[in-house]
Amino acid sequence: MPAAVKRLGIDRFIDEERVLELWPKAAGTEIAQHTRALSLERGTLKIAVDSPAWMTQLVYLKPRLMRKMTGMAKRRTIRDIRFVLGR
């Protein structure tokens, strides 16, 4: 990444956007239809979920999703995933 980008702090926003774009692929088609990546703040990936039933299911799938996202992101930028109700 160019030095000017890092100096201005833009690299953080580029990294965040890249992680958000990875969510549908890491989650898979079925989960992606019911969720949307909202933000990555201080290592916590915030995901909107369209129903309480899906939110419950995702809590159980969280360890697997964490491993997939961390592996795909190629860095340890993701320390937690937080699911919130809403689209």
Residue type, 32: A
Per-residue pLDDT tens for 29-86? 999 999 999 998 888 999 999 999 999 999 999 999 999 998 887 766 789 999 999 8
Mean pLDDT for the chain overall: 84
The b-or-e profile of 1-30 (16+ CB within 10 A means b, else e) is eeeeeeeeeeeeeeebeebbebbeebbeee
Determine the structural domain holding residue 51 and report its residue range: 3-85
pTM of the entire structure?
0.80
- Total number of domains constituting the chain: 1
The CATH number that applies at residue 76 is 3.30.300.180
Provide the pLDDT for residue 5.
Answer: 41
